[in-house]
Structure formats: structure tokens, C-alpha cells
Chains A and B, each alone.
Chain A
């Protein structure tokens, strides 16, 4: 059964804009997804009726702002099937990973090991390299298969008794491969290590049952799941969060402050120093609330149908960098074409209103692994339709003809 695509598309005002003479075919959703009217309405309602700081004032607007902000936290908790006091609003997925790298990482000792993967976005590589340089920990890698999935056959060798954390993507922003989380969690549990998943790509594709995944930390990004930029979420198990020191210091995160010392609030406020991105968080809550009303069996089937249409129509010159089947993958498709640079392809497609992403996708180690400077990527969201895919394929044939 297919979702009511017309109704879904009608919620996204930007989809009606023109790019020159062409309609917009937005296929860069893995970078930033578009915003539905329910989110725009929620943000506008807050900013025009209840704008105030949270957890500070007692006047009416402050009270309403606090309720709206905390309500967004509760919505995100439902989206992830966890407790709301384990939801921390951050500046984004990058901010959330840096928080873990500092607050969890500062409890590590020289020689302790963290395992990351060659499939990661730079945001899940660089903070761990910085932690390594600060704390003298050891970084290890899970490699990638020819198909662009994690090579989990190495887990027994890479995950040792010294491993304290495995930080892996839930789904790749380049290959679209969805990680076999169970295998990673099992390897971590054997040695008492924790698991952090980067859910930035997975989160826009439906609610997530974190207790079933049995991980310890999870991060996501608002602007990739149809919400404003500048907000994201870190979820962590309560016992872990309670044991972790703060990351940033400032207002909101304290219990008492004297000129000599401070004591800190309990999670989640301990990790939300300063005024949070209130309106953006309310927008994220509205996005999650709307996403939870959709039939995700139908939406996922629709997204994968479009993925198959793209696979079927790709010219022979295009080599897919990632799994070519539909199992355990997101509708994120990267490909390389000999003699045609991704930026040239993207620029030519832009003339037809097709928005793609070309380059290394903040995953240079993965590009090195495949021996390519970059790929062209089409990333599909719930509002895309067959016309988007067909516009891409038509433009791609023309671009290849001109460039090669």
C-alpha cells in the first residue's frame, strides 16, 4: 500500500517552488531535509505567542515556553521509545557526539580503546581523534566491505578487553547501508563496552525503538528529520548520564554556584548549558509528532520503490557505491562515473531543478577506501515521487553525454 503522497507533498511549501523553468526535484535529503507546514506552524506559533527563555521566568510567556520545550522533549522520547529525562537537546548530531566524546571520554584512561568504523561521517571520527590526543586512548577501526557495509567479521579481533566504546553509524550517509546493530552490541557486551549509534541518517525514516536496539547512546540531527537546523538530540542511558560530568558550563546546567565552585544539575539539564535552541527544539518535536502519525510500512515501501526505480534507470556507466539490493539499506544512493566529476554532474542537474550532492560527503576515509575522490548522491525522503527520480535519470544521461 502506498502512502497518500499528494497529502504529504502538500505539507511541504518549498516543493512548489521553481528552479528557473523547472520544478524542484529535491534529492539532497541526507544533507538537509525540507520542513513541513506543521513544523513551520509550530515554530511560528511559539515565536509569535510564547517566545521567552525556558526554566527561568515565572511570567506567562516563560511558563508557556518551558511547557512547549519540555513537551518537545517528551515527544522525542516517544519517537525513540525512551524516558524523557534521558533526552538531551544539543546543537545537532555533531554537538551530541562531541558531548559524549568529552563527558564520557573524560572518564577513560590511557590505553583504553574506542572502536569506530571506516563508514563514519567526519563528525563521528574527528571528536574521537581529538579525544585520543587528549587522553591517550587507542582508536581502532571496523573496515568496510566491497558492498559498502561494515565488515563485522573482524569484531572478535578488533573489540578487545580494553574496548570501552564502539561508536558506529546506524546507517551510512554515503552507501545507505543500515548497520547490523545486534552484532555490534553483542561484541560490546562481551567485553563490557558501551555502544553509541549515529542516527543522523536513520532518524528521518521513522520512529526508532531504542530499547530493542539495546545501545547506550544515540544521536540525531533536527535538520535532517524535517525540523529547523541548530538542534539535535543525544539520548543516553540514565545511569551513564548521571555518572558523566558536564561538557559545557554555564546557566541552566548548575545546582548551586559560589565564587569557589559549582555543583551541577541532574541530567538532562546538566548537559544543556546556556539558553537552548528553544524554537528549533519545538520544531523538532512537531516534526517527530507528525512523523509518528504516518504509516511507516507504507512510507518505507514507497521510499524503497523509488530507490529501485533509480537503480533500474541508472546508466551502465554509473557504478553504485553501496549495496544494490533493497535489504537493510536506506534510500540513499551514491554512484561514481568514470570521466564525469560529481560536481559537474550536480551542476548540470541543477539546471533541471534536480538537487543532488556531489563530493566526499564528509567521509574521506570511505572515499580513500574505494579509491575515488567523491561520489554523486541522491537521497530520497518521504515526499519524493517518481517524477523526481525520472528528472534525475533524464538529466544524468545528458550530463554523461556532455562530460565523457
Chain B
């Protein structure tokens, strides 16, 4: 994997904006800001039993933040909360520079971000919103 932060795969992932938009009737809708840069991510989510039935996101942020939301859009639907947590843990380990096997292959586009400490939160913000949305939807119950 290249050390170039803005490699084509990350630019393509951001542009793809998989599942960008809003859900009409979400079980939970969470908006989270990064206070340092003002970036903002909204995740709408619907649960079906123990897995994510539907999801959408809206991002006001940088390429890294957009790409992370797009990876979530590509992989999270059908996943359980445990799988999502494992994906976030793997991402955090990758950003620390630890060797790790990522459960979602597209997460590997973020490998160069480990060299840019000030940009880690850009990638993690959509995952933080997703985790909070799952917790909110579970609290609401079926």
C-alpha cells in the first residue's frame, strides 16, 4: 500500500459516497461533530433483529471522513454490532501502526493515515457516529 495519503483508491471511495443520503424512518439518527475542525457526520440507521437492516449517512467533511462513511455504507448493512465493533477496533489498530487483519477489505485504503496523527479523527468520526447510532437504536428496542 502506498504512503501517499490521497491515493486513487481513497479518492474513489470518497467519490463513491456509498449509501449517502437520509433514511425516512430510522430507528436512530445520530449527528457527531469533530470540535477541532468542525466536520460533521450524520448516520441514520434501522436495525433488523441483531443486524443492521438499513443505513445512510451525510458528511460535511474532508476526503478521509467521506471515504470512511462510504466504507461503512458499503459494508455495514447486514452486519451485526459485533462485526461493526470489530471493524472499528481493526481500524484503530491500523492507525496505531499495529499489524492487523481488517474484516472489511476496503478499510485497508486508510493504511497511509497512520502516518498523519492529526487526521486519525477524520477517519474515526463516521465510526463513532455509527457506534452511537447502534446504541441508540438498541435502546429504542423493537
Contact = CB atoms under 8 A, between A and B. Distances in A.
Interface of A: 341-344, 347-348, 358-360, 364, 367, 373-374, 402-403
Given A348-B6, A373-B60, A403-B63, A343 B37 contact: yes
B38 A344 contact: no
Contacts, number: 39
Nearest to A403: B63
Contacts of B122: 343
Contact of B62 (A341, A364, A367): A341
B102 interface: no
Nearest to B122: A343
A364 B6 contact: no
Contacts of A402: 6, 11
A347 B5 contact: yes
A341 B37 CA distance: 11
Contact of B38 (A347, A348, A364, A403): A364
B6 A347 contact: yes
Contacts of A374: 37-38
Interface string B1-35: 00001100001000000000000000000000000
A360 B38 contact: yes
A contacts with B: majority SS: helix
A373 B39 CA distance: 7
Contact of B37 (A348, A359, A403): A359
B55 to A, nearest CB: 23
Contacts of A343: 37, 39, 62, 64, 119, 122
A367 B39 CA distance: 12
A359 B36 contact: yes
Contacts of B63: 341, 344, 403
A344 B37 contact: no
B116 A347 contact: yes
| Residue in B63, B64, B116, B119 whose Cβ sees the most chain A Cβ within 10 Å | B63
15 contacts: A341-B63, A342-B62, A343-B39, A344-B6, A344-B64, A347-B119, A359-B36, A373-B37, A373-B39, A373-B60, A374-B37, A374-B38, A402-B11, A403-B11, A403-B63
